[in-house]
Structure 1
Amino acid sequence: MSNTRIIISLFCLLTSFGAKAQTIEVNQVGYQINAPKIAAVLNSTNGTKFFITNISGTDTLFSAQLQPARNDVYANNIPVQLADFSAFQQSGTFQLIVPGAINKPQIIIQSLPFYTVGKAVLKGYYYQRASMPLLPQYAGVWARPAGHPDNAVLIHESAATNERPAGSTIATPGGWYDAGDYNKYVVNSGITMYTLLSAYAHYATYFDTLTTNIPETGNGLPDIINELLYNLRWMLTMQDTDGGVYHKCTNAAFDGMVMPNAATQPRYVIEKTTAATLDFAAVMAQAARIFAKWQNNRLPHLADSCKQAAVKAWQWAEQHPNLDYNQTSMNAKFKPAVTTGAYGDTHLIDEWFWAAAELAITTKDKPYINWLLQYKVPVAVIPSWNQVAALGMFSLLNHANQLSASLQPLIQNCKLQAIEVANYLLQHGNMAMHTVMGQSNNDFIWGGNAVAANQGMWLLQVFQLTGERRYLNGALSNADYLLGRNATGYCYITGFGTKSPMHPHHRPSIADGIQAPVPGLLVGGPNPARQDGQIYPNNYPETAYTDNDKAYAANEIAINWNAPAVFLLNGLNYWALQKAW
């Protein structure tokens, strides 16, 4: 046995005697060679040093002092000491040893540590496709027959018009299943499409060469664009002839835990709403700008069609400004009763702002510019499906030089707010775990992992605005959180890390008979509210998580959660290639 191993073994024995069990939590996917690299030692108060050795533990390659302990207030105040090995800049696979800890995790250091997982979270959308079979050459062991052709979807009573009476049918095939269920919702597609379109807009040179092995790979379009097209074409079918947009395409009730092809309940399009129509208008206006790149070859006329659809949707919304989706009141008037996801939203000023911003950027027309000039800068909050003002804010910032002088004061105010929120994120995170995630208990909600990813996306955009590396490092800290440096020790993306969810609330992963879940899906994460009624280990905010397929409040997946993970992880890859560290 080498002298190094003897010293470390003795140190472990002495410091662990009588102490609580200590665990080391790391980013299980990998660290960027030149970026900050931090591990967390849980239940540790008086550790002194840590060691990085070769994989066999025979040779010490780096050692340093552990940082003083801090209590993690979101995990029952457990003490945490951080191991900062940023100065260790060798690529490879190593072992991290802290005397007294019960585990010795591997750490992987690479120039592009998020490359594979970044591809996987984008490929996750292929596995969510409706109306087409997933073939083995693309889906591997998760191949499956087509489900929900949606070529004869019923007009629900709530959506009936003279032109399309109740019980008549329309075709609305394609699109992505929204989450662990098999329905398709325009509102949640809205923020999802924005986030993925924005990812391409920010990192086009990166995504232009990123392939995910989907049926369209090699057709002359980037695979992220191919994937976006699959859902965009479905969204276009959800617009009625008058410009309004159906709220969702759904069963009356959720399917059982079966494969898509075994789910054969009747499908309906449900009433047109202002929120769905404005989200649709915003997405189509944004898509028109991005797809214009291929209007002379691969996608003739699509950009124009998207722009026309956006304008028509805005006009319908102006005529119907307050048609909210209230499923309870709808069910009191129309049959059949619908009990699937509601995505109801009664506060629509943020949807108006987002749609006006996208249309102003795309068309430069005065009605949208004038609308923006009459509207105060929105309160800047981390985006979610029902809080979309920041989407319009960042779109305005990213197109500031293309917009009229009259909009520049508004854009400047947007910039100040974006930076103010970013500074708050950096100053009020979880100091014990050294993550931006953990501003308050409110970060740990249904879909809290998307909060972490959206915070990271926000910080990446402010980094691009300012060039200040602290924002980039803050975004990186939330990637570390999602990939394992957290109080549960889970890497929250299926198929990655040494400890990741095996039982997500995701019907194909439950029903397919394959032990491993569909890969590349971000689960919701810790949620002390536990709306599913399942038994969790505890209800502390950061540890209220269970890997249980019935625990939909913590372990479901959703397209709007994966999207900011696509932006964050691939954005970090982009900046690594730009040598931002």
Structure 2
Amino acid sequence: MSRMKKAAVILLIVLLTGCMPSQLENKGEVSGNTIAGMEKEPVISYEMPAASPTILINQFGYINESSKVAVFKGSEMPEEFYVVQEDTQERVYTGYTENKGYNEKLQEYNGYGDFSEVTRPGTYYIEAPILGRSYSFRIGEDLYGQALKEACKQYYYSRCGVELAKEYAKEKARSACHTGKSRFREEAAALEAAGGWHQFGDGSREVEWAARNIGALLFAYELYEEIFTDDTGIPESGNGTPDILDEIRYETDWLLKMQNEQTGAVYAGVTVCERDRGMGMVSYVEPEDIQSSKAFAMAMAKFSYFYQNYDAEYAGRCLRAAENAWRYVKRYDTAETDAWKFSAAAELYRASGRGSFHKIVLEYLEAGGYKEDLDETAFFGCIAYISTSRQVELTYCAEIAEVILTKAEEISKETRGSVYRIAGNPSGENHQELLLDMMYLTAADYMITNREYKNIIENHLHYFMGRNEMGINYADTEIMKQLDMDSKLIVMLSEMAFFAK
């Protein structure tokens, strides 16, 4: 994504010199037809080993030449530890423990064991006197690429309304679900609303949630397009389109069903409920609302922009649907421009080049509310604006870059002094926050290519994959099972897979 990279260089010059011309040169148009109340929390159960592990590692594994550090827990620390090759039981490395002493915040004794010198591909574990042994882990060349494919495939496993064939889903194969029509709550009518990704275990789906997932997935794709292949093992693999775009199209097909084409309004989602007296399940279409229409406009405009090179006709349909939703929003939304409306306008401006959308973007940026509390939704709009080849106000682009880079520095400071080398407290309860922070850090690292930021992102992957105080592989047991977290994990993995190549 060279435009964003070039823009970042210009922005850095602006920030350093204080020279802010009013506009970037318009680099051209994309022409013609090509592009001119369901909140629930899933129940997560962690299956703990008989004893909490005391040698903590990334249970997925490490890249050959990467930094490799185990965290030790225990009131007594051994002087040495050993890396053992699992199949031969041979000790291939002897290391010396760095004792970190007692950590009052965590109320535990910690130490480090650096085994970065072990680079040969294989499966290993660590053992040490007093502490015992770790879980097994791999060392290899493309582990992040493999993890990325698995994270992306979670969306296929979550498809609604279609059979998951054993050829693609293996042990997760199942018959088609939720294929019937969904009822309107206040009308004697129904809507064919099968499709999309399951948000909750009961099959409920929400438009705003879908838009956030699409935003994160396309952000990862925009930064590291070449990492996303056409061979992840879904039915569309091998069709010449990156599988991540095929997967998003499955969701946008459902989103199109959620729009009233006559008014442009978008239904909030589909809720699946159990009937009274055990009569099975029934699904309801949630009423149209303005927020869902804004989120729909953002997601569909964003997808149209990236999909135009693969299917211009479908991309054009998505853009027209986004503009239709926008007309509904414009007609009925009397409130000040919020983050969803800003992001929708930014994506519509990027895709269509229309000045009316640019005007909304500038009004929001001038108000500056995003500077105090940059949330995920506003972030997507900011990235769209600084990445577009359309005419922009460079002053606002510089301000956006400064906000993202300042946020990155705040995250970086939080990791210093952390035993597990992460931002915030390692409580196991703030994974959404940590994943969002890593998305911001990925953007900052793309702008300025900072080795420290890459290390922080990788250390958070180590944390999510087992190098944490509980010794739980959260990526496998929690994050990949909740798509709104999985999408942000995909952002992290795409960066690490790109730089590991």
TM-score by length of 1: 0.71
Q: In the alignment, what sits opposite 2:479?
A: 522
Q: In the aligned structure 2, how far is the partner of 1:230 from the partner of 1:106?
A: 37
Q: In the alignment, what sits opposite 1:391?
A: 380
Q: 1:270 to 1:464 in 2, by over 3 A?
A: same
Q: In the alignment, what sits opposite 1:364?
A: 353
Q: In the alignment, what sits opposite 1:153?
A: 182
Q: Counterpart of 1:428 in 2: which secondary structure?
A: helix
Q: In the alignment, what sits opposite 2:475?
A: 493
Q: In the aligned structure 1, how far is the partner of 2:358 from the partner of 2:156?
A: 37
* Contact 1:51–1:96 (CA under 8 A) maintained in structure 2: yes
Q: In the aligned structure 1, how far is the partner of 2:150 from the partner of 2:467?
A: 20
Quick one: which amino acid aligns to residue 32 of structure 1? I
Q: In the alignment, what sits opposite 1:462?
A: 444
Q: In the alignment, what sits opposite 1:41?
A: 72
Q: Does 1:422 align with 2:408?
A: yes
Quick one: which amino acid aligns to residue 283 of structure 1? A
* Contact 2:208–2:292 (CA under 8 A) maintained in structure 1: yes
For 1:311, which of 304, 320, 323 is the aligned residue? Answer: 323
Q: Counterpart of 1:114 in 2: which secondary structure?
A: helix
Q: In the alignment, what sits opposite 1:379?
A: 371
* Contact 1:25–1:485 (CA under 8 A) maintained in structure 2: yes
Q: In the alignment, what sits opposite 2:42?
A: none
User: How far does residue 21 in structure 1 lie from its aligned partner after superposition?
Assistant: 8.7
Deviation by residue 1:45-93 (Cα, 9 ceiling, x = unmatched): 65444333443554342423425235272x4x22222223334433333
Q: Counterpart of 2:72 in 1: which secondary structure?
A: strand
* Contact 2:125–2:136 (CA under 8 A) maintained in structure 1: yes
Q: In the alignment, what sits opposite 2:390?
A: 403
User: How far does residue 139 in structure 1 lie from its aligned partner after superposition?
Assistant: 1.4
Q: In the alignment, what sits opposite 2:110?
A: 80
Aligned alpha-carbon RMSD (Å) = 2.7
User: How far does residue 569 in structure 1 lie from its aligned partner after superposition?
Assistant: 1.7
Q: Percent identity?
A: 22
The 5 A counterparts of 1:97-112 are 97-112=127-142
Deviation by residue 1:187-243 (Cα, 9 ceiling, x = unmatched): 10010011112222222212134x221122222222111111111110011111211
Deviation by residue 1:456-485 (Cα, 9 ceiling, x = unmatched): 222222111101111111111111111001
Q: In the aligned structure 2, how far is the partner of 1:435 from the partner of 1:177?
A: 33
User: How far does residue 94 in structure 1 lie from its aligned partner after superposition?
Assistant: 2.8
* Contact 1:274–1:322 (CA under 8 A) maintained in structure 2: no
Q: In the alignment, what sits opposite 2:174?
A: 144
Q: In the alignment, what sits opposite 1:26?
A: 57
Higher relative contact order (CA 8 A, sep 6+): 2
* Contact 1:72–1:432 (CA under 8 A) maintained in structure 2: no
Q: Counterpart of 1:234 in 2: which secondary structure?
A: helix
The 5 A counterparts of 1:156-195 are 156-157=185-186, 166-195=187-216
Q: 1:430 to 1:71 in 2, by over 3 A?
A: farther
For 1:237, which of 227, 246, 257 is the aligned residue? Answer: 257
Q: In the aligned structure 1, how far is the partner of 2:468 from the partner of 2:135?
A: 14
Deviation by residue 1:289-347 (Cα, 9 ceiling, x = unmatched): 101111xxxx2411111111111212211222269xxxxxxxxxxxxxxxxxxxxxxx9
User: How far does residue 392 in structure 1 lie from its aligned partner after superposition?
Assistant: 1.3
* Contact 1:54–1:95 (CA under 8 A) maintained in structure 2: yes
Q: Counterpart of 1:145 in 2: which secondary structure?
A: coil
Quick one: which amino acid aligns to residue 499 of structure 2? W
User: How far does residue 23 in structure 1 lie from its aligned partner after superposition?
Assistant: 0.5
Q: Does 1:128 align with 2:158?
A: yes
More strand, by proportion: 2
Q: Counterpart of 1:388 in 2: which secondary structure?
A: helix
Q: In the aligned structure 2, how far is the partner of 1:111 from the partner of 1:421?
A: 32
Q: Does 1:354 align with 2:338?
A: no
Q: In the aligned structure 1, how far is the partner of 2:431 from the partner of 2:200?
A: 14
* Contact 2:308–2:315 (CA under 8 A) maintained in structure 1: yes
Q: 1:285 to 1:67 in 2, by over 3 A?
A: farther
Q: In the alignment, what sits opposite 1:572?
A: 496
TM-score by length of 2: 0.82
Q: Counterpart of 1:267 in 2: which secondary structure?
A: strand
Unaligned runs of 5+ residues in structure 1 are 1-19, 158-165, 257-261, 324-346, 495-500, 502-520, 524-556
Q: In the alignment, what sits opposite 2:294?
A: 278
Q: In the aligned structure 2, how far is the partner of 1:558 from the partner of 1:107?
A: 24
Q: In the aligned structure 2, how far is the partner of 1:463 from the partner of 1:138?
A: 35
* Contact 1:249–1:270 (CA under 8 A) maintained in structure 2: yes
